[in-house]
Amino acid sequence: MRSPLGLFGILAGSAPLFLLLLGCAESQDLPIRIGATMSQTGAYATQGVPAGNGYRLCQEHVNTEGGVLGRTIEFEIHDDESSSETAINLYERMITEDGVDLVMGPYGSTLTEAVAPVTEAHRQVHISPLAATTSIWEQGRQYLFMVLPPAELFLAGLIEMAHERDLERVAVIEEDQLFPRAAGSGAAELARERGMEVVLHESYPSGTEDFSELLARVEEGEVQALAMAASALDDFIAVVRQMEEAGVDVVMFGTSGAVDEFQEALGPLAEYAYGLSAWEPSLPNPGNEEFVAAYREAFGTAPSFHAAGAYGSCQIFMEAIRRAGTLDSDDLRRELLDLETTTVFGDYAVDERGYQTANQGAFIQWQDGERVVVWPDDVATAEPRFPTPGWAER
């Protein structure tokens, strides 16, 4: 018969194991904390606000369905103020001081490029919901994953439609930022490959308000299709208004991002304009209809592709966690490299760089004040319309 001391000694000797098991049990009661930033203010707020809502709605749905690995999830979303410096500091703090379990990416290529060295240094899997610039994935990073179509394809639909309609003279203008430069270069290269003449390919500084010089060159060059890439919605709006004021007339005008705020700001002037949308409510993606209804109910407005991108990226991460059965970064990385799936946002598959290979996006056109999908043909809901006789006389 063991003495009380002996029994105490056995318990004491097993204390580390006991505490470990206790810690594991306690951790199962705690949510999985996911740190992220989204631009709630600043130049990218138009995109960042709905993207942040996409994360929040995914959290609600995951938790309603019982969480992941037996735990709920909890997003901790900070406003990076559309600032690279702020975003860098926030991700460093979330990982090293706040002790989040996982991270997800901010809005856009500029901020993603800024914070990628931080997440990479800490070996944190970083699914980027809304960054698309190829160069970000050409630096040997191991933990960064793309969800959007590559930036170089963001204006491809406009160029393809222009080529199909035998338009020959193209102009490309782009904001002097990482993503717009890539999108603009991709459009210009594709136009040349199709045998079209690129009359103008020009970058402009961020914050530009007067586009009259560029638009004069568009008019002088008898441009038929004008492609524009920018990160700031205000740039698209300013160009359309100044085209109207100056009487600049093109057959097709398209942007690298279609959001409802464009039409709301311009009203009838938005008619016939095209824009890339990586996602639309009409696309036959699984769960899409339910996502749209839930977003409307939660936030009182229709979701943009930025909201769907964030929600779909969260879906991808949850599936990788389920398959891995752990939060270990290397295990999650392997699952994300192998994963092929379709979310509300669309198809997901990546190459060995974490670079998107499955998603091509869609092009919409504003018709009668509504956005309709006009490209590619297999998901189009309407035929493109053209101004008669031209842009300036609508």
Q: What is the mean pLDDT of residues 133-154?
A: 95
> Does the fold of domain 155-256+260-282+362-393 match that of domain 30-149+304-348?
yes
Closest CA to 103 of 93, 95, 111: 95
State the chain's mean pLDDT as an integer. Answer: 91
* Contact indicator for 58, 51 with CB cutoff of 8 Å: no
Q: What is the mean pLDDT of residues 285-295?
A: 97
Q: What is the third-level CATH fold of 155-256+260-282+362-393? A: Rossmann fold (3.40.50)
Region of poorest pLDDT, from 3-7, 107-111, 170-174, 244-248: 3-7
pLDDT confidence band for 389 (50 / 70 / 90): low
Say if residue 226's pLDDT is above 90: yes
pLDDT at 282: 87
pLDDT confidence band for 28 (50 / 70 / 90): low
pLDDT tens-digit readout, 243-261: 999 999 999 999 999 888 9
Q: Does domain 30-149+304-348 have CATH number 3.40.50.2300?
A: yes
pLDDT at 167: 97
Q: What is the mean pLDDT of residues 143-170?
A: 96
pLDDT tens-digit readout, 89-101: 999 999 999 999 9
SS (H, E, C) the chain: CCCHHHHHHHHHHCHHHHHHHHHHHHHHCCCEEEEEEECCCCCCHHHHHHHHHHHHHHHHHHHHCCCECCECEEEEEEECCCCHHHHHHHHHHHHHHHCCCEECCCECHHHHHHHHHHHHHCCCCEEECECCCHHHHCCCCCCEEECCCCHHHCCHHHHHHHHHCCCCEEEEEEECCHHHHHHHHHHHHHHHHCCCEEEEEEEECCCCCCCHHHHHHHHHCCCCEEEEECCCHHHHHHHHHHHHHHCCCCCEEEECCCCHHHHHHHHHHHCCCEEEECCCCCCCCCCHHHHHHHHHHHHCCCCCHHHHHHHHHHHHHHHHHHHHCCCCHHHHHHHHHHCCEEECCEEECECCCCCECCCCCEEEEEECCEEEEEECHHHCCCCCCCCCCCHHHC
Say if residue 382's pLDDT is above 60: yes
Say if residue 156's pLDDT is above 90: yes
Say if residue 15's pLDDT is above 90: no
pLDDT at 80: 98
Say if residue 20's pLDDT is above 80: no
**Structural domain boundaries of the chain?**
30-149+304-348, 155-256+260-282+362-393
* Rounded CA separation 282/309 (Å): 15
Region of poorest pLDDT, from 12-21, 176-185, 279-288: 12-21
pLDDT confidence band for 387 (50 / 70 / 90): confident
Q: What is the mean pLDDT of residues 75-90?
A: 98
Q: Give the CA distances from residue 242 to residues 132, 215, 341, in Å, rounded to whole numbers and listed in that order.
A: 29, 8, 43
pLDDT at 12: 34
pLDDT tens-digit readout, 323-351: 999 999 999 999 999 999 999 999 999 99
pLDDT at 278: 87
Residue 153 corresponds to which tokens in the numbers above? 């394809």
